[in-house]
Each structure stands twice: as structure tokens, then as C-alpha cells.
Structure 1
């Protein structure tokens, strides 16, 4: 390698400093890539699995069974993520639901929309006046009715957003990358404002809020148990690939009992989030919390004690003594076959002598009686 570099830089137009630099780089490459010494110390890969590093956590959310109800989907997703971070490093956040779950609007959201519509009508008639004006979060303009704010947002900012999206979609290559970087701040500001001003055309923004919180959302068919089957297969696939060490399941569906049992057999930590206090999932999991505990932050505080119990269990498991014949044989050696045969012969002779002495006296006489008779 060094000779090759010297040949390549033999041209006199290259100065001596460049030559020395190339030769030094070649030597480094030769040392680290062509060295035949294979006895280099490698990092212990089992250390991360057995508690030297934090647990790798995967959150699986059954939206068909446990949709967020008490708070907004984004707040519920963020609080669930914060609670899961108490158990380790959250690398996977997965949610499954059919199309009906994303189209469905909870009764609380319907009541809120109905009240908002009534309030808009009263503001337009002048019966009710807001204490503070409505402020556009994109341009900062103030309005004294909510409907004027909505019309302003649709006529100006929504049209601008559509133009930016069409420009990005029509561009290709480096031009598209430049446009994305140029409009990223404006599009983020528009999306944050539109979430509070515009009403979603379908559903109540469940999928968009979960994606904004960093969850991977998958929509399955509306067939019965389609989401459960897809979620179960995803969990088993990740267990087979050993991509997680702690499994958090958000569901009350008893169909996942076998999956949790399989996870425990594979020495995975299991946590269930549901509202059924005596549910089948909570009985087979290591820890269980309710949605109220997730929302209030109680689960995040109790997770410290749960992780402590896991560490204690791991330490006790390492302290357990097990006899390993092969290891003991290598450390302390073993007797030869002749010695084993001699030992077997000695044991058999000892047993035969005891049988003979037992046959010399009657079965009802004790050993002490025979000794007294012999001495007399």
C-alpha cells in the first residue's frame, strides 16, 4: 500500500508535504484494515443486553381498543412517551388501527365543536364579545370574531401553503431539496396554526397528532381483528429480531395474553397500559398502569421502583450457582479411566464386606448385641 502511494506521488509536481501526508494515511489504512492480528479486544455485546446499558423500549398501541379520550391525541401520545422513557431508551413507537378509528369522532369532540359553532353565531350577531382578540399565529393579525380569523386563514395562508406544496412536488433533485429547506419553517408554522384553527375534514386529527408526536401509525382494513393480528405479528417479528428488551402494550384486549407470555419466556420486560384493573393482560405482565396514571404522571414516578426490581432480579439471577461439568473438568481436571475402575472396584468390595458381616448375625440382633457376645 505504501509503495503504491509512493508510485502515485512520484511526480515531481507534488510537493513533499503532500507526499508525506499520503504516505501517513496509507500506513494508517494498512494498520487498521490489512493487519492480520485478529486478537484485538472487541466490545462485550452481551453487556448491553444484561443491564450494562439502558433497556431498549418498544411501545405498541392498539388504537382500536384504547383510543385517547380524556385528553387530545397529541398530549396523550407525548405523556405516554415520557412514561415509557422511564423504563429505558424508547426507539420504537408503533400504533395500529383500522380506518374506522381514524374517521370516528368522540362525543366530547362533537360537543366541543357544537359549542364552538354556537359561540361563533353569537359573536357574529354582536351578542358576545371576546375578552381578547383572536390572533393569527402565522402573520400576527388580530380579529374580534373567530369566523373572520378562519376566513382570513383559508383565503391567504391556506392558498400560500398549497402553492408551496405544489412547487415542492413539481421540483426534482437538488432543486427539491432547496425548496424543502426554504419552506420548512413556513410549513411548520402553518401546520401548527391550522391544527387549532381549521376543523379536520375527517375524524378529529388522530393520525396526524400521533405522527407529530413521533409515532409510526399504520392503517389496516376494517375487517374484525385486523389491527390485532397486524399488531401481534409486528410484536413477534421484533422479538425474533431481538430489537427490544422492554415491551409496552397499550390495550385491554385479552387476545394479546399469549404474546405477553411469549415475551416473558424470552426474558423481556413487559408493561401494560389499560383501564381494566383485573384484566388478563395485567396478570401476566411485570407492571401495569392505567390511562389516568399515565396522564397525571404517576406512572413515570412508579417506573423507578419497577426498574429497581428488574435490576435486583437480574443481580440475584447472576448470583445463582449452577454446576457446569465441562467447566469444572477443564479447571480441575478429571481422573483417568483406570482410577475410575479402581474406585468402582473398591466401592463394590466394601459393599460385599458389609453384606457378609450382616449375614453373620441374625436379622433380629442389633450390631451392639453381636459385639457384646464376641467380647464375652
Structure 2
């Protein structure tokens, strides 16, 4: 007696095969290289010529922080370099000199009792209050001596003891340094090197030879471009000696930005973008940097989409005999296998160039081969089962 099996939509062995095939296809489709690849952020370097462009209107620390904040719109700021000789670090801008003179006049009037401060002067280390600025300065010498003692203890200690002392005095030393910037007058210049280091700059003192800072700064930029460590250069200077570096950066497809006060300088004419110090300080440069980056992206896209054409001068210079020779060559080649879609370098249109396209082509071909093989196996098993069922 022959027992008929109940009819099902698909045998169990075919369901397993199709489920495995679906898992296989989904695995390769998920690992297939995508055509849209996100571009990483550009690496930005700030190169500051302190001999030519020191910060005059604001403190060096504030100038460095605002500069980094504005430049960060162009990408990730990885390099912050400043070069100058010892004379540049000892230089005091006229604005700072005027402030110091005004402070001296106020101190003299406070000592004579001619004026009184609206609020008492407070020591930010111990919290004591004084009714004159000079009294606060004289009191702060005590904290200066204490700070020097801590430094001597750390310098004389070694090994684990030195590490423990640094951890013990870290908070007190930081508190003293923050208070000393507002009370004590820097012995050299106006604290240019210290403030820039605090803002994150790598400050380098060069020799007193003429153009020593320019040469060192130029070599630093070229070295980073040689190693392909940078995609955007921000130069703070008005010195025309850096024109060749900007031109070389453009040849290497490195974006250039110049910050200076020269409105129509030669550096700004050779740079991709330019800002003044006033725009940096008021925050206008940070807003405009977004539109500058979008213009750069549009320009890069247009460069990729450019197609070559024959200039009009070349067409006008051609003779009729040249076109007649081309027609004869076409007629001669009409009897042969002519491939109109083939390019000038005899490369078929279906061949791809990049590695990602070759890998994608291989994966697609492999998927098709596996699919054909699975379908053939399924068809073979199905016919075997049908023949057995009929028998």
C-alpha cells in the first residue's frame, strides 16, 4: 500500500538550502565594499612667525586660544609651532607699555590717598585683602619665596621621592602660577613664550642671525609636507619670503590660510583663504571658515568631474588634410572589428581601474557563480526526489 505524503509548499531540504543561500548572500552583501567612502578630516598645522607678527592687541594666551578655535573649522589641529629669536621674546608691544604706565600712575595715586579702589585687591593664593595694589605686590613676594622653595625641593629630590613631591605641590604650584600672571610683571618681555606654551604651542628660540626664524619655519612646513602629515597650512605672517612655500603647498594640493594685518599682501594673494587678526579675535573668521571649507569641497568635486577638450586655437590651426586623413583611416578600419565604446588607450569600457572596483567586480562574479551552483544542486536533488517518488 502506497502512502501519500501531505502536500507542502516546499520540501524541508529545499527550505534549508534556501535559508543557507539567503544567509550566504546577506553575509557577502554586508561585507561588500561600499561605493561611498567618507573622507577623513584634514590635518591642520599652525605656523607662527613671531618676529613678524607678534600678538599686540590681546594677551598671547588669549590670542593663541582664539586662533586655534577659528582654525579648528578647517580640520583637526595637530601642529602648533612658533619660531622667534630672543629679541622677539624680550620685545614689549606699545599697547602693553601704555598699560604698564597707567598702572604705575594708579599705584602712585593710591599710595598718596588721592583715589581709592572700588573693591579691595584680593590675593588669589591666601585670600588676604589690600586697599592698594603695591601692598598686594609686596605681600605676594612671600608666596614667591614659598614657590621657589618648593621648586628647589623638587629639583634636589630623585626617583620616587621627586614624584611624590610633584604630586604633593601640584595644586599649590598651579594656584600660584595663575595668581602670578595677574600680579607680577614678567622679567622678559610680556610673557610671550610662557603664554603661548600654555595655549598649546611648541615655541622654539632660534639664533640671532637674520632670517633664522623664517628659514626654520619654512623647513618645518616643507618637512611635514614631504612626509604627507598635513593637508592644511595656517601661516601667521606678513613676510613675503614665505610666498615660495605657499606656491609649493598649492602644487602639492595642500590648502593654505594666511593670517595677517596686510590687507593686500602678496601672501594673501597666493593663499586659498586669508583673515585679519581683527576677524580672528572677534570670531568672524570661525564663521567664514565654514563657507571656505564648503567652497574647497565644491572645487575638489569639480576637478574630479573635469573632462578634457581641444582648445579652439588647436582646432583653428588644423588643416583640411588632417580631417581627410582621419576619414580615410576610419574608412580603412570599417572592414575590421570596430569597437566604438573603446577608449583611446584600447581599454574596454567594462574594465575598472581602482582596487575597490576590482574587488567589487570579483565579489559580484563570485555571488553569481555560487547562486548558479546552488540552483543547479537544488534542481538535481528535486529531480532525484521526483523520480524516486514516481517509482
Given the two structures, how large is their TM-score scaled by the length of structure 2?
0.69
User: CA separation in 1, counterparts of 2:346 and 2:74?
Assistant: 38
The one-character-per-residue Cα deviations of 1:207-249 (angstroms, maximum 9, x if unpaired) are 1110110000011112111110111011111111111111000
Q: Does 1:66 align with 2:86?
A: no
User: CA separation in 2, counterparts of 1:328 and 1:91?
Assistant: 44
Q: Indicate the residue corresponding to 2:210 in structure 1.
A: 224
1:282 Cα deviation from its structure 2 partner: 0.8
Q: Indicate the residue corresponding to 2:285 in structure 1.
A: 299
User: CA separation in 1, counterparts of 2:179 and 2:164?
Assistant: 24
Q: Does 1:331 align with 2:351?
A: yes
Q: For 1:2-151, what aligned pairs fall within 5 Å after superposition?
A: 52-151=39-138
1:321 Cα deviation from its structure 2 partner: 5.6
Q: Indicate the residue corresponding to 1:167 in structure 2.
A: 153
User: CA separation in 2, counterparts of 1:229 and 1:326?
Assistant: 50
**Residue 351 of structure 2: SS of its match in structure 1?**
helix
1:98 Cα deviation from its structure 2 partner: 1.0
Runs of at least 5 residues in structure 1 that lack an aligned partner in the other structure: 1-40, 333-376
1:325 Cα deviation from its structure 2 partner: 3.7
Residue of structure 1 aligned with 2:220, choices 234, 251, 258: 234
**Residue 86 of structure 1: SS of its match in structure 2?**
helix
1:74 Cα deviation from its structure 2 partner: 1.2
**Residue 178 of structure 2: SS of its match in structure 1?**
helix
**Residue 314 of structure 1: SS of its match in structure 2?**
helix
**Residue 84 of structure 1: SS of its match in structure 2?**
helix
Q: For 1:148-159, what aligned pairs fall within 5 Å after superposition?
A: 148-155=135-142, 157-159=143-145
How many equivalent residue pairs?
Answer: 285
Query: Do the aligned partners of residues 115 and 326 (structure 1) sit closer, same or farther apart at CA in structure 2, a change above 3 Å counting?
Result: farther
Q: Does 1:256 align with 2:276?
A: no
Runs of at least 5 residues in structure 2 that lack an aligned partner in the other structure: 1-30, 309-342, 353-391
Q: Indicate the residue corresponding to 1:207 in structure 2.
A: 193
Query: Do the aligned partners of residues 66 and 324 (structure 1) sit closer, same or farther apart at CA in structure 2, a change above 3 Å counting?
Result: farther
User: CA separation in 1, counterparts of 2:344 and 2:152?
Assistant: 69
1:181 Cα deviation from its structure 2 partner: 2.0
